[in-house]
Structure 1
Amino acid sequence: MTRFKRTAIAVAASQIALLAGTTALAQEAAQNASGANVVVVTGQRAALQSAQKLKQNSDEIVDSIVADDIGKLPDRSVTEVLQRVVGVTIDRTMTKGDPEHYSVEGSSVNVRGLSYVRSELNGRDSFSANGGRALNFEDVPPELMAGLDVYKNPSAEQIEGAVGGLVNLRTFLPFDFKGRKMAASLQDTYSTLKKGKTSPSGSFMFSDRWKTGFGEIGALVDLAYSESGTRTDAFQVEPYYPRTDVVPGKTVWVPKGSQWRTLQFDRKREGAYGALQWKKDASLSSSLTFFKSRYKMHWDEQAIFAQSSPYNIQVSPDATFDSKGALLTGTLTDPADKGINFGGDTRSADRKSDTTDIAWHVHWRANDRWTIDTDLQRIRATTSSFDSTVATGVTMPSETIDLRGDVPSLSFTQADRAYLANPANYYWAFTMEHQDRSKAGEWAWRTDAKYDFDHPVLRDIRFGVRLTDRDSRNENSNPSYNWAAITQPWQVGGTLTGLAYLGDSRFANQVQVHSFNNFFNNNTSVPALVFPGVGLTTGYPDSYALLHTYPNKLCTDGSGKCTSWNPATFGTDPAGLNDQSERTGALYSQLRFGFDDLKYPVDGNIGVRYVKTKMTAHGYTVFNPSSSTGPGIPVFTKFSQKQDFSNDYGNVLPSLNLRMKATDKLQFRASVSTGISRPDFTDLQGYTTLSQNVDNATGQVTYTGTGTGNPNLRPVRSHQVDLTGEWYFAPSGSFTVALFNKQLKDVIIKQSYGYNVSDNSGKPYTFAVTGPVNGADGHARGAEITYQQYFDKLPGWLSGFGVQANFTYVDSKTSLHQPVHAVYCSGGNSASNFNLNLNGCDIDGKTFGDLPLIGLSRQAYNLALMYDKGPLSARLAWNWRSKNLQNVNVNGTQGSDGTDTNPDSATFGQHNVAWALPVWMDGYGQLDGSITYNFTENLSIGLEAQNLTDSKTRQLMQQGIGFKGRAWFVSGPRYTALMRYSF
């Protein structure tokens, strides 16, 4: 790619050598550049030196990580590699909408606190079929990567879409090597918490080049296979409810219980990459690349959930509370329900993801002035998932909680432990399944031209055109999460005579007593529980159908048919379909210049990019008018109609990048640009439901609606400024400082917007539809500091030590276009009505103050101690990030209850309040390490370790009584033995 070209021959040659990781090539390149023999470095030190040169000589502000050797990035996944880059943090939940499930290898990536991150593969579009615009980085085999680049402030020639940053994944090409190159690796990973079998991985690469009568040809094949098996144990505490009936004359806050779970996770990741290169001569060359990644995961979970009425919970007289009235210790009981109602869930989930990328590139140097590059790409991505839950129910006699320590401590009497381990005390409760499937594709074509000036100031001018045609189709089953009761306590006395206890012989082998062995690495003890067998969750739909016939013998009417179950299906409800197409066209021009004769030489580029976007969302509008009639009540006709929503917009994106060289080792940069990030396809879904509601007592008519998406959304925009100071005092030693300020416009939030519909007389009415809107502005500003050095001047073996450290500080703020002034949350019958305050609602009806951007940690740092001397290479790396907001209104921390709709009622907060608590991830740090020994130039063995300190992840829920512990996760250390051979 043109952005990686360097003006100095010596720099270019040394970079190629380091990237290839071959001693012979490095020596030859260095001698060609300088005419003298030099000391050549390889391995970890060479990778740092290469990454530093990329940063120093780039036209833009960029941070890179380069593979130590072929197939050897420094971590087990692309996400874990990216977290080492200054300004980059990773999310450790499986999905942002489900913070209850932990991701050991990390999932999404934020750059400088922003989730608006663009992903590329070799400078081209790359994405997953998940309703978003970026890759699931955990799906990509790191063994196929030559390096990763994170661009902080893009120039005009780079593809638009990187408000937060641009992550480019780079692979090798055959001409990166002097001749034939082969490399292979074998690895095996052991999880201390999961125990049992290990997880093998391996990779193989072959590359060669041949001179023929019609030019030189190169071919490369790279294959990777990886398994990972992990286990996560978790504690959870339910939200705290205000109670005036526990301590006389005082309001205290009591959770309705604490719960625990274990999740067994297995994934397979496969990758295949191939490249053909052809070069006629220095003027004409071409390449064809094929990249395919395949990801498959399965997890099984056994979890127990408190589901009693929070106001039926009684607390023992010896209970203690903190200064704000929150429960610290005490025994919980529920006499009203004859025990605390808990549900024991067995849940299984599968996901398959596949991304295929084919690209053809032609490079033509027409003469000594003109260079033309053209590129054609086809990318196709698919994903599908299935989520299945079968649950039992039990009434726990009592639960003694101690919330004073780092992790909740639970105590049970021997009688209670025996009760909880007895299947006869459990009943079949419910089933729930969810399915989704997605596919996305894109054709992309671009042509770039460059004209080189013979001028003391002007270097070259670049301009180009890019066209894309993209489609995205995401389907959810209907109902999306198909919850269906088998037997529930509230059915008894109605349709059922009793509960269906686990005594039916048809399920004799489908029940298991789970003892939670080695829970939290033997640091705590919890009772054994009874769960449905995994065969019932994975045996869908037959197992579900059989379970739902069981309670029919308990029908109160004697019919034997009082229950029914229908599986979730695709295509029955347009609300589950999100079908879109998008076309873009972009033009850019960029001028590179340099003032070499100044006392402090200055160079840089200035350019502008114009992009036109045209999208179409194929959707529906559904309207359910009121059946009430009378004076003043407009008459509408009910309808459900298919609609196509179009949205066209253009964006002008200027950019300026300047660099001043104070010395050969000290330089300063200044960058100013405008960027955009288009809305995710999930937010653009064109499905809206409208309702006309009539209060028969007052005659008041209201017009409301809900939009699962909003096809009229515009991109998030950013006006951004970057300043850096960079001191490169050694080949692999540097100290850099960066200041940045991103002014955000049109941030997408959920809020009400107007939707016009005319009644039968033709009079228009505006419906207040709640959905995604460009409803806020904001900023993300801060600083980055990076330092790395090997201490070469130390004597003997001590000269192999080095250190690498970076620190990021980010401050953010958002301001709503239409500020919310509500003091209390809205009433209603579900938390889906939560729309009065975007910052969340407490259970007592009060709202919270302003919240930061989701996923933003104010502080993050990396600290690595390195050693590289002779055949030995080692690293200890600590990564830490501070507390960050995960989401608001997510599962487990939202709900509603009661019937009182009067906000002035003395009991408001326990009645008819739709509450939704902000969920945070507390500060988290993790220590990883690796050691490698090179027996020969070709053969090395090593050991890698993740989470050496057995760190615990703590999740917080924000309430008026402060930040309270919501969940605690442990996954334990993991160890990987590896062997690499290359020649």
Structure 2
Amino acid sequence: MKHNFKKTAIAMGLAQMALMLGAAQAQEQAQAPVQSTGNDATVNTAAAPAGSMTSVVVTGQRAALQSAQKIKQNADEVVDSIAADDIGKLPDRSVTEVLQRVSGVTIDRAMARSDPDHFSVEGSGVSVRGLSYVRSELNGRDSFSANGGRSLNFEDVPPELMAGVDIYKNPSAEQVEGAIGGLINLRTAMPFDYKGFKAAISGSATHSELRKGKASPSYSGMVSNRWKTPIGEIGALVDLAYSESATRTDAVQVEPYYQIQDNGRTVWVPKGAQWRSLNFDRTREGAYGALQWKPSSTLTTGLTFFKSKYKMQWDEQAIFGSADPYAIKVTDGEYGDNGALLKGTLTNTDPTKGINFNNDTRTAWRKSDTTDISWNARWRPNDRWTIVTDLQKIRANTRSVDSTVATGLKMPKEQLDLTGSVPSITFDAADRAYLANPNNYYWAFTMEHLDRAKAESKAGKIDLKYDFDNPILRDIRFGARLTDRDSTTENSNPSYNWQGITQDWMGGLQGKLAYLGDPRFSGSTNVHSFKNFFNGKIDVPAVAFPDVSLARGYPDSYAKLHSYRGILCAENGTTCDPWNQATFGGDPKGINQQSEKTKALYAQTRFGFDDLKYPIDGNIGLRMVKTDSHANGYTLFSSSATPGPGIPVIVPYARAENFDNSYRNWLPSLNLRLKATDTLQFRFAFASALSRPDPSQLQAYTKLTQSVDNNSQVVSYTGEAEGNPNLRPITAKQVDLTAEWYFSPVGSITLAVFNKRLKDVIVKQTTINRLPDTAGVMHDFTTTSPVNGAKGRARGFELAYQQYFDKLPGAWSGLGIQGNFTFVDSERTLYNGVYSQYCTATTGAANLNLNLNGCDTNGTTFGNLPLENLSRQSYNLALMYDKGPWSARMAYNWRSKSLQAVNVSGTNGTDGTDTNPASPTVGQHNVAWGLPTWADDYGQADASLSYKINDRMQIGIEAQNLTDSKYKILMQQSTGLMGRSWFSSGRRYTARLTYNFE
């Protein structure tokens, strides 16, 4: 009922608000060099050179491209832009997908960079020129989500509220600091952007090929008007948006490879392959309102309200290997030249046992919202001075629950063929019947995770501009900005609370398991058949899973499941440890409290030499910013050592600590433009830039541990640090050179060459903490923590082209093409420091001292890795059509493989025990390993077609992933880049109807 009320309210004529037509914006920009009042983006919208515009009125897709091209051509900085085709109509289904069309911009397809096991259909993180150090703005003001980072989750923002998106590649002094990779500004409309009354409504329905059921609806609507009143001109605009998405993703995965012996040969074999299916539901709501008042010709003021709400839930059924890798035996094995398994049948070395697998039902939900209230006033007291003041308050919240309930299974055997494009997992009829029988399963484990976060920021600034009457100096701008930001992130204690229900190794059970065949433990499961898996291209067997209600029923359902262990223990005359629920509080490791204040001053002058044969204009400026941060933290020491001869005694302690950090940065910038002709121009840009550490990297929590191997009496001193409150910002010196030829209103060829030299890149490094024992002897604790430990570079070029072929005959003149290509090369060089050279597990502790570049399952390390999230090559290609009432686009986006992360979920762990952890034997047990994961090359084709029934009504259809592309994750091992995961999400189709009121 709640959703139906929302849909009906929106569909009935909501007062909706801001999405400026691309053509309307282009017209506004051509008329005046000043931005629309109250919209504080820094695009210079001075009139275009003579001859570069025609008097032909264009609309829709062509108008949007024309508007975006004019922004790029006339901006003071190096910028790319995307404008909405119509009110509420950016060219893709999410802001993230819109951004990937821009040269130099790539998006992630994993839900999180730390979780390569889950695919995001609409995309996730954004990188610009291969760097993830990206700032986000809303109408030229800072904006963020409460996720432990500094930027927006762009997938959370309703694209229907956007009039356009600008991506700045090299900032100027007047722009807010914080963007090394790029600055992404989301633009909404203001009432004074329109001449009078303007309104539109739209609705759409999306169908997912793999997710059967009803279509997912989306609605949006905007209304704007302006009035002459006795107190001046007043404008009001309201915009509302609501959308749902229901998708399914299927996946096949291969576990990491281990070295084992097969007929006297050392080979690499995974401990199994697995499959999973995930249903994802997303709801996005947005509300935007704007009021403007112009009491006189010299003063305009505006108030805006923006709120985005995001809610998602996904349910997953996954079977995954949990066997001892050294208990795997291969029959009829075939191996490649690198010794890695190609084909074979996996069994247990003990013929009376099977291969351990777990079968989990997992549900996760997250709710997030961001609220932005801003006030702006622009006063022009005379022809020389312009004074702009701006106040803003942002509040962001998020909370999440992640719940997993799993059964266990001892699989008789698993036949693998890893030679194809996707792994083939084969089972005979007897094994399929075994897998489909719930009586062969037992209750294995539960795991829950909870988190919540809130962030709040207040910002104020004043900008002054003085216009010169001078042939060279155009104006001088200077101003100040103050911010005050607080954030608190909490994770449950324990963060991921894995607890076994019944496992072979658990004390008190004496090997007994809670099998579903026992009437006391039966029920609450279902046999999932994986229908239409990978669009019918892969046949996997049915598996018994816990009911989703058990995962959603946390914590009551967990308490019941863990009571089964108590029943078995009582049967054996033993006692079992009770189940402990994850909660907030109790462990300071789960709380990260940060505050930050900044003060910035800048001065910038614009100049021009119009009398030269080739006119030159530009700006030069300097920005100074001081940052003061504060972190509430905790440091503790504990020991599991039993006092005795040769065992130093260190007194345990736990204390709260506060950390203050302060730094000042000077950021000069220079932007030059040379106009060879009215249509051909060249740019040179230089700037110093910074990117502050994320709040998640600044957490002040350190735990030091003393442990002893009781057999060898070797004492280990280790530590773990969640963050480092003394981190400095990453800084860069960056240079851009561009050549830009604008040969028609929607025709251009541009080339940009760039070089960014990075300093103080944040990496994890092994450092030393020292504590004294009771005798006064100091002991070194090897602690892994983030530090400013590397320098690097990212350099390359972008080539872009777009054109409509207006001179073709008849209907062919509506054809157009758009394309871009980006090449980025990166390098990272570590500063001098102490890094672990092998990977060891510390007895009695969960700490893993992992090499910066990752460690293989045999204990060997990898060479230097490139910067994360950087694809060396990416491109977009679009075939367009605009003629009469018809508009169409076929677009293909592709990026080459990129490093995701090191030591992430599913590709790390320890592989056994050793009596001497201080002297590990490479290639044997007690290896702590963490593999680098890579996203493989990926390309996707999307299309849209629309028809304008009349001046007010338009219908259209859209299709995403027409090629049914499969997304692949790779894991780096000594044998090379091995396939880890293959994802299939199928195609999506959308039907859309738009109606404009005049």
Instruction: Give the letter for the 1:856 counterpart.
Output: L
Superposition TM-score, scaled by structure 2 size: 0.93
1:501 aligns with 2:499: no
Structure-to-structure mapping, 1:497-896, within 5 angstroms: 498-503=512-517, 510-555=524-569, 558=572, 562-624=576-638, 636-692=650-706, 703-755=717-769, 757=771, 767-818=781-832, 824-829=838-843, 833-835=847-849, 837-896=851-910
What's 1:26 paired with? none
Q: Deviations over 1:642-698 (max 9, x none)?
A: 111110111111111111101100100011111010000000001111234567899
Distance, in Å, in 2 between the alignment partners of 1:613 and 1:36 is 45
**2:6 corresponding residue in structure 1:** none
CA contact (8 A) 2:944 2:958 kept: yes
Q: Any idea what SS the aligned residue of 1:721 has?
A: strand
Aligned residue number for residue 233 of structure 1: 250
Q: Is 2:181 the counterpart of 1:164?
A: yes
TM superposition shift of 1:13 = 3.3
1:247 paired residue number: 263
Of stretches 633-642 and 842-851 in structure 1, the one that deviates more from structure 2 is 633-642
Say if 1:188 and 1:198, in contact at 8 Å, map to a contact too: yes
Alignment equivalent of 1:149, drawn from 166, 190, 204: 166
Determine helix, strand or coil for the equivalent of 1:489.
coil
Q: Which residue of structure 1 lines up, in the alignment, with residue 57 of structure 2?
A: 40
SS in 1 for 2:97: helix
1:896-932 CA distance string (max 9 Å, x none) = 2234578999973131111111111100000000000
CA contact (8 A) 1:10 1:34 kept: no
What secondary structure does 2:446 align onto? strand
Aligned match of 1:444 in 439, 459, 463?
459
Out of 94, 109, 113, the residue aligned to residue 96 of structure 1 is 113
Distance of aligned partners of 1:85 and 1:407 in 2 relative to their CA distance in 1, 3 Å threshold: same
Residue by residue over 1:746-795, the C-alpha shift from the partner in whole angstroms, topping out at 9 and shown as x without a partner, is 00011123445566687876643211100111011111000000001111
Q: Is the 8 A contact 2:492 2:585 kept in 1?
A: yes
1:51 aligned to which of 68, 75, 78: 68
Matched, 1:275 2:293: no
1:67 paired residue among 53, 59, 84: 84
> Cα deviations across residues 551-592 of structure 1 (Å, max 9, x unaligned)?
322116645852411210001111100011111110000011
Task: Give the counterpart letter for 1:333 in structure 2.
Answer: T
1:44 and 1:201 map into 2 onto residues whose CA distance is 21
The answer to whether 1:109 aligns with 2:126 is yes
Matched position secondary structure for 2:659: strand
Report the alpha carbon displacement of residue 968 of structure 1 after superposing the two structures with TM.
Answer: 0.2
Q: What's the offset of the Cα at 1:701?
A: 6.3
Aligned equivalents of 1:548 and 1:845: distance in 2? 36
**Is the 1:829–1:912 Cα contact (8 Å) retained in structure 2?**
no
**1:293 paired to 2:299:** no
2:327 equivalent to 1:312 = yes
Q: Secondary structure at the match of 2:29?
A: helix
Who is 1:418 aligned against? 433
- Cα pair distance change 1:902/1:960, threshold 3 Å: farther
Q: Within 1, Cα distance between the matches of 2:839 and 2:934?
A: 20
Opposite residue 942 of structure 1, the aligned amino acid is G
Please give the per-residue CA displacement for 1:521-547, whole angstroms capped at 9, x wherever unaligned.
000100000000000000111111111
Deviations 1:107-127 (A, max 9, x none): 110000001000000000110
Q: Does 1:430 align with 2:453?
A: no
Which shifted more, 752-761 or 394-403? 752-761
Quote the residue 1:978 is aligned against. Answer: 992
Q: Distance in 2 between matches of 1:59 and 1:485?
A: 61
- Cα offset, 1:818, TM superposition: 2.3
Whole-Å Cα distance in 2 between the matches of residues 569 and 938 of structure 1? 55
For the residue of structure 1 that corresponds to 2:832, the secondary structure is coil
Aligned residue pairs total 963
User: What per-residue deviation string (whole Å, max 9, x for no partner) do you get for residues 714-750 of structure 1?
Assistant: 0010111111010101100000000111100000011
Equivalent position of 1:25 in the other structure = none
Shift of 1:505: 5.4
The structural deviation recorded for 1:497 is 5.3
Q: 1:193: which partner in 2?
A: 210
- Contact conserved, 2:526 with 2:547, CA < 8 A, in 1? yes
Greater mean deviation of Cα atoms: 765-774 or 713-722: 765-774
Match of 1:400 among 410, 415, 421: 415
Deviates more, 1:46-55 or 1:828-837: 828-837
The alpha-carbon deviation at position 637 of structure 1 amounts to 2.9
Structure 2: how far apart are the matches of 1:227 and 1:30? 40
The residue type paired with residue 139 of structure 2 is N
Q: Which moved more, 1:843-852 or 1:101-110?
A: 843-852
Partner of 2:18: none
User: CA 1:326/1:437 → structure 2, altered by over 3 Å: closer, same or farther?
Assistant: same
The answer to whether the aligner puts 1:224 opposite 2:241 as a matched pair is yes
| Aligned residue identity for 2:101 | R
Q: 2:461, 2:482 within 8 Å by CA — same for their partners in 1?
A: yes
Contact 1:19/1:50 (8 A) holds in 2:
no
Instruction: Please say which of residues 515-524 and 554-563 is displaced more in the overlay.
Output: 554-563
Structure 1: runs of 5+ lacking an equivalent: 1-7, 21-28
Contact 1:896/1:912 (8 A) holds in 2: yes
User: Deviation of residue 867 (structure 1)?
Assistant: 0.3
Query: How far apart, CA to CA, are the structure 2 residues paired with 1:181 and 1:137?
Result: 27
How far apart are residue 550 of structure 1 and its match? Answer: 1.7
Query: CA deviation digits over 1:382-428, x for unaligned, max 9?
Result: 00000000000011111111111100111111011011000000000
1:327 paired with 2:341, answer yes
TM-score, with structure 1 as normaliser? 0.94
C-alpha contact 2:505 2:511 (8 A) present in aligned 1: no
Deviates more, 1:483-492 or 1:149-158: 483-492
CA distance in 2, matches of 1:52, 1:366: 33
- How far off is 1:432 after superposition? 0.5
Contact 1:18–1:47 (8 Å) recurs in 2: no
Shift of residue 891, structure 1, vs aligned partner: 1.5
Per the TM alignment, residue 503 of structure 1 is displaced from its structure 2 partner at its CA by 3.9
Matching residue of 1:945: 959
Contact 1:841–1:914 (Cα < 8 Å) also in 2: yes
Which residue of structure 1 lines up, in the alignment, with residue 201 of structure 2? Answer: 184
Q: In the TM superposition, what whole-angstrom CA distance separates every residue of 1:206-254 from its partner, at most 9, and x where no partner exists?
A: 000000011100000000000000000000001111122x133x21111
Q: Distance in 1 between matches of 2:183 and 2:202?
A: 30
1:3 aligned partner: none
Measured in 1, the distance between the counterparts of 2:615 and 2:722 equals: 54
Using a 3 Å threshold, how does the CA distance of structure 1 residues 901 and 750 change in structure 2: closer, same or farther? farther
Quick one: distance in 2 between partners of 1:343 and 1:901?
29
Q: Is the 8 A contact 1:549 1:563 kept in 2?
A: no
Unaligned stretches of 5+ in structure 2? 1-24, 38-45
2:10 matched residue in structure 1: none
Deviations 1:112-166 (A, max 9, x none): 0001000000000110001110000000000000000000000000000001100
Q: Are the equivalent residues in 1 in contact too, given 2:446–2:558 (CA < 8 A)?
A: yes
> Residues 304 and 836 from structure 1, CA distance in 2 versus in 1: closer, same or farther, beyond 3 angstroms?
closer
Residues 828, 896 of structure 1: 8 Å contact kept? no
Alignment-derived partner of residue 368 in structure 1: 383
Is the 2:514–2:564 contact (alpha carbons within 8 Å) kept by the matching residues of 1? yes
Partner of 1:354: 369
Mapped to 2, the partners of 1:365 and 1:84 lie a distance apart of 38
What letter is aligned with 1:770? T
SS in 2 for 1:490: coil
Query: Residues 831 and 914 of structure 1 are in contact (CA less than 8 Å); yes or no, is this contact kept in structure 2?
Result: no
RMSD, aligned α-carbons: 2.6
Distance 2:126 2:53 in 1: 44
Q: Decide whether aligned partners of structure 1 residues 947 and 651 sit closer, same or farther in structure 2, where only a CA change above 3 A counts.
A: same
